[in-house]
Amino acid sequence: MEGVQIHDFDFNKLMEFAATTKGEVFLKTTEGDVLNLKSRLTQLLVLSGAIAQGTIEEATVICTNKDEESALFRMNLYGDNK
């Protein structure tokens, strides 16, 4: 699982995306931590430490469902989730 590199990504959009996926979604930080984005505890940790002004500056998001990972890539690239 390589994942999708995201930069300056809106935290709320990422949480909305994670909430709609069928598979698991993980955030891998630049420090190497891997956090399950479907976990409320993880969401609070990410919100308090890994973001600045509502955006995630840099991280890797890994989806267990490759179609959902492709959708995230398009969302990161084009700014939509279609």
Residue 21 has a pLDDT of 93
Reported for 68-73, long-range contacts at CB under 8 A and 24+ positions apart, including other chains, are 68/21, 68/22, 68/23, 68/25, 69/3, 69/4, 71/17, 72/4, 72/6, 72/17, 73/4
Residue 81 has a pLDDT of 54
Residue pLDDT tens, the chain, 82 long: 578 888 887 777 888 899 899 999 998 888 888 889 888 887 777 666 555 556 777 889 999 999 999 998 888 777 765 4
Residue 30 has a pLDDT of 80
